[in-house]
Chains A and B, each alone.
Chain A
């Protein structure tokens, strides 16, 4: 597997499109009860835009963040791994990601779809960590695919087939835990 596809896998696990789609569908009536494809598409589009902006900020500002914190990239991997571990465990436990009741209309695209479903703590901290280690462009490029997939699932509406995305969400959580452990080990083992 190339470095790029490994990164795509990381962001697939951290964004967890299946869990996001489930949470978006069940967060509250306004999101769950979106009647038409167009309304779901608007919310998903806004969500991707908000999350995308946060990802861009996290990757482009990664070096400055670490400088400001006085932390070596290797040490930051340990912190990122811990956050990913917690989020992964949460996904296994609940089959989705935590969310509060969503507001009505386009605002649902900002919250909770954009933040914290698409741009969650695991995916943002992973963006910072990998941007420093692997480069900003590659990191952003890798995040695009899971974000797009999550948006598609939101638009499609997954509530009807709940068991399948639920299983995928939990498996993604397990994958995230494995990746988190690898990242922490790398943080300890590398110079």
Chain B
């Protein structure tokens, strides 16, 4: 009998070990406090300050292994990094305002105007993308929320009207503007741009209620909730769209309709799954082989941003309340991973250019400005979650 039991248990143990190693390694969530998150955001903002060049653009990408800057640029990411600095300001830390204002000046000097509309036009190839304008507007909105300064209100309205010019009757957004025709290119969409524009429109309603921005935002909310994944042929729906989550959180007290809530719940599930998988990843060869390499901050940051936004929604809307704790857990886990993976002041000394390494997030030796953007926004977004969880735990 004992031989049989021992044999059976040995077989089970071997199976359990294989399962543990290959399928369910432990999920590691480094601890993160409100203070450590704030330190990380501050370091990221300082990186952006150091990365801002004399012409008003940021250092786009740096390869530490080769000690080389990548000679290219992306205007959407420029707008995104700037927006993140304004978001930090809106949270109460205005240390990045001057940097953001200089970067915003670079965008304001490259405006395309058409009637009562304006858009951010790439000075490199003259293209006009929905996402760049949406994030420029989002940045100005965060600036307005941070300062109450109304000097850009007119510009914000012009940018927002451009977004409406890109909006289709079904709420979808076209992503590129054809200057010769004075109209958007038909059929070209962006998996990022729609959510970016949607969020920007929701915040326009907060800043300028009664002007009808909410109706336009609702149209796109319904498109995102019901049709986007099918129309835009997302392979594994829902598309993990943190911008949509920002917008839905902004609409929490409008309130959202049931379709929007269903969509928000599916987004929370998706972000949560991505976070669980990320928490299982290590730098070991087996982990890389089975689970892939660790996500870059530009990716993981968006998941934390999404979860942070959906946590706000779950805190406000009873139809999401049952998910609030889990969303908070996953979000804080992601924030812990982000904070722990940032290059600290002491670690930066090991790099050829410590000033570019410090406060940055590297993946395979490379950091790109949107790594810092999304990690910064995520850590700003997560502060409320950490504070609330600490407060609830203390009760």
Determine whether A137 belongs to the interface, using a CB cutoff of 8 Å to chain B: no
Determine whether B252 belongs to the interface, using a CB cutoff of 8 Å to chain A: no
Question: With A and B bound together, what is the CA distance between A69 and B24 in angstroms?
Answer: 9
Dominant SS at the A interface?
Answer: helix
Question: With A and B bound together, what is the CA distance between A191 and B271 in angstroms?
Answer: 7
7 pairs, CB–CB < 8 Å, chain A vs chain B: A69-B24, A74-B273, A79-B24, A100-B7, A110-B5, A190-B273, A191-B323
Residues of A at under 8 Å CB distance from B?
A: 69-72, 74-76, 78-79, 82-83, 100-103, 107, 110-112, 115-116, 121, 188-191
Question: With A and B bound together, what is the CA distance between A103 and B19 in angstroms?
Answer: 31
Of the listed residues B12, B24, B28, the one surrounded by the most CB atoms of chain A closer than 10 A to its CB is B24
Shortest distance in angstroms between B249's beta carbon and chain A's nearest beta carbon? 16
Q: Are the C-beta atoms of A111 and B5 separated by less than 8 Å?
A: yes
Interface residues of B in 12-68 (CB under 8 A from A): 12, 15, 19-20, 23-24, 26-28
Residues of A within 8 A of B28 (CB): 70
Residues of B at under 8 Å CB distance from A?
A: 1, 4-5, 7-8, 12, 15, 19-20, 23-24, 26-28, 268-269, 271-273, 276, 280, 323, 326-327, 330
Other-chain contact of A191, B5, B15, B272 (Cβ < 8 Å): B272
**List of 10 A-B pairs having minimum Cβ-Cβ separation, nearest first:** A191-B272, A70-B26, A107-B1, A79-B24, A103-B1, A111-B4, A191-B269, A191-B326, A111-B1, A100-B4
Question: With A and B bound together, what is the CA distance between A150 and B27 in angstroms?
Answer: 37
Of the listed residues B269, B272, B276, the one surrounded by the most CB atoms of chain A closer than 10 A to its CB is B276
Residues of B within 8 A of A74 (CB): 272-273, 276
Question: With A and B bound together, what is the CA distance between A190 and B268 in angstroms?
Answer: 8
Question: With A and B bound together, what is the CA distance between A82 and B330 in angstroms?
Answer: 24
Question: With A and B bound together, what is the CA distance between A126 and B374 in angstroms?
Answer: 39
Question: With A and B bound together, what is the CA distance between A103 and B5 in angstroms?
Answer: 11
Question: With A and B bound together, what is the CA distance between A100 and B271 in angstroms?
Answer: 45
Question: With A and B bound together, what is the CA distance between A102 and B4 in angstroms?
Answer: 8
Residues of A within 8 A of B24 (CB): 69, 71, 75-76, 78-79
Q: Are the C-beta atoms of A79 and B19 separated by less than 8 Å?
A: yes
